Every structure is written in structure tokens, then in C-alpha cells.
């Protein structure tokens, strides 16, 4: 458990874009979010990452004000908005299904929020044109949503959310209806606009690649709790729990037994067929523990040092090749070799597995 507990009083001197303090949310008495605290810096692109049902949408909708918190407080830029209705929270929202008005043109869709705020028509014309140009759709202002591609619709939704210059931008799986290539294109548009506008953003996804590629910080959710919060590289390289290691990126998770408690630092870990040196990022009690090794952090050689295994399978994946290597006692590990080493080893080959002592982690189980 390494969620950064944040009390409002302990926040840094700069006012955070969003502060959540002791939040609980329930549906009909059933708590789905419990005692969640988090601060998100002004201008940060923050991603909520987690499997289906862990509470991402519920948290986002509570921040937006569509769901009332059972307990806790929400502060936008230092102001308490816990009791404010959604339309008084100054948020922009982008949803998975675009939620555009089908009977309005692209222009009128984007103008909607400004008209609701009674902005004058000349300003509306200028801001909408600017906003559509920003997302590269200036030439489609007169079209209706039905005559747009999915990627174009999502860019209209983004322009509509940003044109009101919201204090907070909330995005709920905005890329999940797009095909793989478009997802990458639109995600670049989103990150570019977000950086330019400097709007504190919360982005919900269950796609780890998206989260790693786009975010300043990631919060990994598990059953209504934040399991770990940190920058993408820390989440990937220093997962605090087996759950995070397993959910973000591929990982070999091996149940091990430590003969003695491990202090922070190097630890000798018994595995079937030998002992490897790993690193404990936090103290680990004696007994059951978890060894975490990313497939790309294990080296394979024919006669170097390390544990002995037998290659059982080889899967060519273009930029890398994944080998399944069997060790004694039925333990099978995945090892990735990058680049053109796709036929370095064949099924049946005897190999040596080397573990990076800094990158191989031992965690409490």
C-alpha cells in the first residue's frame, strides 16, 4: 500500500488543482469508494487506472458532482465544492460515447457551454473558431455529428469541453471507441492541448499503455481504493504491490518464502534451482513474499551465470520475442528479448537466467 496519503493541511504551498479528502461514495448503502484522499497539482495530467468495476467512473462522477459523496471533501483550486451542483463546478467533460447533440452542427455543439453561460455571440464565434482550429476541425464547423468519423467526433467533444476554459477537465475512457491507430492520434491531440491549456486533467482508462504514455501521474485503483499513486516510471519500475505490478505491464510474479525478514535493500531469495539477489523497496516480513521480475529485466544466455532453465515456447512479437522458460518444480517465467534476437534460442534449449539485482523486487505478499 503506497497510495500517497494526503491531508489538506499537509499539501504544498502551491494550491493544488484538486484535493480529495477522506472521500466515501456509496450506492444504496453499499460503499464502493472508502476513505480516499488525493491531491492533484494544478496543470497535472492525472490518470485513474484500474480494471472494470474498481470505481474509476464513480470517482470521476463524484468529482463532477453527479454523485454526492457520503463522506469527505472535494476542493477545486482550494475552494470547497463538495456541496455544489455539477453546473457550478466549472468542469469540462469528455465521455467515451462523445455525447454530442445529434441535431446541432459541430459549431453549435462547441458553442453550447458558452451559450449556457450567456456569453455574447461575437465572443462565441471567436472562441468556437479558435477551439475548432485547435483540434484541426475548423473546416467542419457546419457539419452534423452523424457526418463525422469517430476520431473527429471525439475531437469535437474535446473542443466543447475546453472552450469554456474549465478549471478541471474530466475524461472518461474517451479513446475506447476508436481503433488502435486513431487512439494514438487522438491521444496525442489530447496531451498536446492539455499541456498548452495547462488545465488540471483527470483521465480514466483501463488501458495501461495509454496511462503510461499520457500521464504526469497515475493512480492505480483497486476495489475503490488507490493502491499506488506516482509518475508512470515509478508505477512501472517500483510497483508497491503485486496487484500494481500485474496490472501495469507484464510481470513474472513468483510466490517465494523468505527465511528471515528483509530490510530495505538487497535480499537473497530462494527460487527453485537456486538463489537470486533481488531488492526489497520496503521491509518484508519473514515467510511468504512475492518476487517481481519484468520479462525484459531477465537475461538469457547459453552458459553464463544464473539459474538453469529450459526454453519451452517462443513467441515472435515484432519488436521483441517472448520466451517461456521452465525452471525446476514447474515454475515458468516469461523473458523478453528485444530487437532482432528472435531466433536466439529454440524450444528445448538449456539456458541460464540472470536477474538484475536492482530491478528484481521482493514485496510483502
Ligand X SMILES: Nc1ncnc2c1ncn2[C@@H]1O[C@H](COP(=O)(O)OP(=O)(O)OP(=O)(O)O)[C@@H](O)[C@H]1O
Note the residues at the interface with ligand X (CB under 6 A). Answer: 27, 32, 50, 52-58, 206
E-state strands within 96-179: 168-172
Q: Is residue 83 classed as helix, strand or coil in its secondary structure?
A: coil
Closest distance between ligand X and the C-beta of residue 6, in Å? 21
Closest distance between ligand X and the C-beta of residue 32, in Å? 4
Q: Which residue, among 281, 294, 330, 288, has the nearest Cα to 309 in the 3D structure?
A: 330
How far, in Å, CA of 335 to CA of 323, rounded? 5
At a CB cut-off of 8 Å and minimum separation 6, what does 317 contact?
Answer: none
Query: Whose Cβ is closer to ligand X: residue 93's or residue 148's?
Result: 93
Please count the residues of the chain: 365
C-alpha torsion angle, residues 135, 138, 139, 140 (rounded to 10): 70
Closest distance between ligand X and the C-beta of residue 363, in Å? 24
Closest distance between ligand X and the C-beta of residue 47, in Å? 13
Query: Whose Cβ is closer to ligand X: residue 68's or residue 301's?
Result: 68
At a CB cut-off of 8 Å and minimum separation 6, what does 62 contact?
Answer: 23, 25, 33, 68, 69, 74
Query: Whose Cβ is closer to ligand X: residue 205's or residue 360's?
Result: 205
Q: Could you tell me the maximum CA-CA distance found in the chain, to the nearest angstrom?
A: 76
At a CB cut-off of 8 Å and minimum separation 6, what does 315 contact?
Answer: 321, 322, 323, 324
Query: Whose Cβ is closer to ligand X: residue 160's or residue 206's?
Result: 206
How far, in Å, CA of 83 to CA of 85, rounded? 7
Query: Whose Cβ is closer to ligand X: residue 27's or residue 316's?
Result: 27
Query: Whose Cβ is closer to ligand X: residue 54's or residue 190's?
Result: 54
Query: Whose Cβ is closer to ligand X: residue 52's or residue 346's?
Result: 52
Closest distance between ligand X and the C-beta of residue 226, in Å? 12
How far, in Å, CA of 115 to CA of 122, rounded? 11
Query: Whose Cβ is closer to ligand X: residue 32's or residue 162's?
Result: 32
Closest distance between ligand X and the C-beta of residue 308, in Å? 42
Closest distance between ligand X and the C-beta of residue 30, in Å? 7
Query: Whose Cβ is closer to ligand X: residue 32's or residue 140's?
Result: 32
| Phi, psi (deg, nearest 5) at residue 87 | -70, -10
H or E element in which residue 301 lies:
strand 298-301
Closest distance between ligand X and the C-beta of residue 213, in Å? 19
How far, in Å, CA of 84 to CA of 65, rounded? 7
How far, in Å, CA of 364 to CA of 285, rounded? 7
The answer to whether the CB of 280 falls within 8 A of the CB of 361 is yes
Closest distance between ligand X and the C-beta of residue 225, in Å? 12
Amino acid at each position: 500500500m503506497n497510495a500517497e496519503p494526503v491531508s489538506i493541511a499537509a499539501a504544498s504551498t502551491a494550491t493544488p488543482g484538486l484535493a480529495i479528502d477522506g472521500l466515501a461514495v456509496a450506492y444504496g448503502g453499499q460503499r464502493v469508494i472508502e476513505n480516499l484522499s488525493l491531491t492533484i497539482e494544478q496543470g497535472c495530467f492525472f490518470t485513474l487506472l484500474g480494471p472494470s468495476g474498481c470505481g474509476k467512473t464513480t470517482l470521476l462522477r463524484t468529482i463532477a458532482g453527479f454523485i454526492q459523496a457520503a463522506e469527505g471533501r472535494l476542493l477545486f483550486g482550494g475552494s470547497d465544492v463538495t456541496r455544489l451542483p455539477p453546473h457550478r463546478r466549472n468542469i469540462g467533460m469528455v465521455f467515451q460515447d462523445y455525447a454530442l447533440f445529434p441535431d446541432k452542427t459541430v459549431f453549435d455543439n462547441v458553442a453550447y457551454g458558452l451559450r449556457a453561460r450567456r456569453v455574447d455571440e461575437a465572443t462565441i464565434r471567436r472562441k468556437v473558431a479558435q477551439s475548432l482550429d485547435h483540434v484541426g476541425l475548423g473546416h467542419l464547423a457546419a457539419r452534423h455529428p452523424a457526418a463525422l468519423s469517430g476520431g473527429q467526433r471525439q475531437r469535437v467533444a474535446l473542443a466543447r469541453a475546453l472552450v469554456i476554459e474549465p478549471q478541471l477537465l474530466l475524461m472518461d475512457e474517451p479513446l475506447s471507441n476508436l481503433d488502435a491507430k486513431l487512439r494514438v492520434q487522438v491521444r496525442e491531440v489530447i496531451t498536446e492541448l492539455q499541456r498548452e491549456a495547462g488545465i488540471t486533467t483527470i483521465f480514466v482508462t483501463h488501458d495501461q499503455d495509454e496511462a503510461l504514455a499520457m500521464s504526469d501521474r497515475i493512480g492505480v485503483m483497486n476495489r475503490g481504493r488507490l493502491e499506488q499513486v506516482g509518475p508512470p516510471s515509478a508505477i512501472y519500475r517500483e510497483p508497491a504491490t503485486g496487484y500494481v505490478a500485474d496490472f501495469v505491464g507484464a510481470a513474472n510474479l513468483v510466490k517465494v518464502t523468505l527465511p528471515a525478514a528483509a530490510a530495505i535493500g538487497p535480499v537473497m531469495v530462494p527460487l527453485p534451482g537456486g538463489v537470486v539477489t533481488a531488492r526489497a523497496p520496503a521491509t518484508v516480513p519473514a515467510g511468504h513474499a512475492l518476487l517481481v521480475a519484468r520479462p525484459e529485466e531477465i537475461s538469457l544466455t547459453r552458459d553464463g551465470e544464473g539459474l538453469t532453465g529450459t526454453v519451452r515456447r517462443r513467441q515472435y512479437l515484432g519488436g521483441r520475442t517472448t520466451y517461456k522458460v521452465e525452471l525446476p518444480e514447474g515454475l515458468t517465467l516469461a523473458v523478453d528479448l528485444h530487437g532482432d534476437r528472435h531466433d536466439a534460442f529454440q524450444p528445448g534449449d538449456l539456458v541460464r537466467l540472470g536477474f538484475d539485482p536492482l530491478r528484481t523486487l521482493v514485496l510483502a505478499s
